[in-house]
Amino acid sequence: MAFFSFFKRSTEDEQKTLDEGLDKSKQSLLSRIGHAIAGKTTIDDEVLDNLEEALIASDVGVETTLQIIERLQTRVKRDKYVNTDELNRIMVDEICQMLEENTRTQEQNNDLEDQHKPYVIMVVGVNGVGKTTTIGKLAWRYKQAGKNVYLGAADTFRAAAVEQLCIWGERVGVPVIKQQQGSDPASVAFDTLQSAKANNADVVLIDTAGRLHNKVNLMNELTKIKQVMKKVVPDAPHEVLLVLDGSTGQNAFEQARQFAAATQITSLAVTKLDGTAKGGVVIGISNEMKIPVRYIGLGEKMEDLQIFQREPFVRSILGID
């Protein structure tokens, strides 16, 4: 059975976490849209110009903003007269359609973990973006789904990193494979896969040290971890999850581009969308990256990681029920 159907939280709880998490982004976006249409009853060129500014200021990104504006222009031409009251609803339509055209369908993604045993996920990203936290949350989700989960503490660089992962392991009730600080991350990954395989694990999550995309040595280290893992599980890693800090807005976008250019990334998680007004960045990242946004982080608790779903996200950030 697909892993999501096991998931215990009700859809109302998830909707609430999403709406509360995106509230700041929504308030800020709606106020900018409010300014864009102030004193106007129909969507005309001036409104579209203002709207363009509003979307760019909301971290949607220039390229994606231009695509949205173009779609709205076409829509206005087709429908002849569009009232500004209808703007948010039309934007939800057009943005969702745009994302549907430009991103991979989510269904393709959802049962990957059933096709490999163990299914190996390597988690990468710069320091402090939320890698270890996202691993803890994912471990919990997979465990809820009845999976046998193993964690590998291959961030051997930062002093507290192993301990932080162990705390998550205890909290969730899954084993963590570790060595002492400063040991070779590839060796930790190797040990983890060996234990996982010997114990019939379904899912393995490998934590890695925060590294900057432009640091050649560190990127080489990722390559080495991958190569060593293949000695145990020949087609591992099955997923390379890049974690991005959504509260850094366009910076997160830029990191996604640079990481994707430097190493093979297969999925994205955008964290810390709670408490930031820059949530619009997820729309741009999702639209422009050829890599699917798989998860969004909406808080620090175990249950605050969600599967990214285009329509609920876009509706929530534009305040349309």
Residues that bind ligand GDP (CB under 6 A): 125, 127-133, 157-158, 185, 209-212, 218, 221, 271-272, 274-275, 297-300, 304
Q: CB atoms < 10 A from the CB of 21, how many?
A: 24
- Smallest separation, CB 160 to ligand GDP (Å): 9
Total binding residues for Mg ion by CB under 5 A?
3
Q: Which does 260 bind (CB under 5 to 8 A by kind): Mg ion, ligand GDP, none?
A: none
Specify the DSSP class assigned to residue 83. Answer: B
- Output the DSSP codes for 246-275: GGGTHHHHHHHHHHHHHS---EEEEE--TT
Distant-in-sequence, close-in-space partners of 101: CB < 8 Å, separation ≥ 6: none
Indicate the residue among 136 and 175 with the shorter CB distance to ligand GDP: 136
Q: CB atoms < 10 A from the CB of 81, how many?
A: 9
Indicate the residue among 79 and 300 with the shorter CB distance to ligand GDP: 300
Indicate the residue among 52 and 274 with the shorter CB distance to ligand GDP: 274
Report helix, strand or coil for 171: helix
d(CA 121, CA 124): 10
CB burial of residue 261 (10 Å; 0-12, 13-18, 19+): exposed
Indicate the residue among 118 and 210 with the shorter CB distance to ligand GDP: 210
Indicate the residue among 38 and 160 with the shorter CB distance to Mg ion: 160
Q: Which does 94 bind (CB under 5 to 8 A by kind): Mg ion, ligand GDP, none?
A: none
- Smallest separation, CB 253 to ligand GDP (Å): 17
**271 lies in the site for Mg ion, by CB under 5 A:** no
* Contact positions with Mg ion (CB under 5 A) in 121-140: 131-132
Contact criterion met (CB below 8 Å) for 111 and 70: no
Indicate the residue among 118 and 299 with the shorter CB distance to ligand GDP: 299
Distant-in-sequence, close-in-space partners of 40: CB < 8 Å, separation ≥ 6: 46, 47, 84
Q: Which does 175 bind (CB under 5 to 8 A by kind): Mg ion, ligand GDP, none?
A: none
- Smallest separation, CB 103 to ligand GDP (Å): 21
Q: Which does 129 bind (CB under 5 to 8 A by kind): Mg ion, ligand GDP, none?
A: ligand GDP
- Smallest separation, CB 124 to ligand GDP (Å): 9
Q: Which two tokens stand for residue 77?
A: 């031409």
Q: Which residues pair with 239 in a beta bridge?
A: 121
Indicate the residue among 59 and 304 with the shorter CB distance to ligand GDP: 304
- Smallest separation, CB 298 to ligand GDP (Å): 6
CB burial of residue 7 (10 Å; 0-12, 13-18, 19+): middle
- Smallest separation, CB 319 to ligand GDP (Å): 21
Indicate the residue among 34 and 128 with the shorter CB distance to ligand GDP: 128
- Smallest separation, CB 139 to Mg ion (Å): 14
* Contact positions with Mg ion (CB under 5 A) in 133-172: 161
B/e letters for 277-302, b = 16+ CB within 10 Å, e = fewer, are bbbbbbbbbbbbbebbbbbbbbbeeb
Give the residue closest to ligand GDP by C-beta. 297
Ramachandran area for residue 16 (φ above 0: left; ψ -120 to 50: alpha; else beta): alpha
- Smallest separation, CB 88 to ligand GDP (Å): 26
The footprint of Mg ion (CB under 5 A) covers 131-132, 161
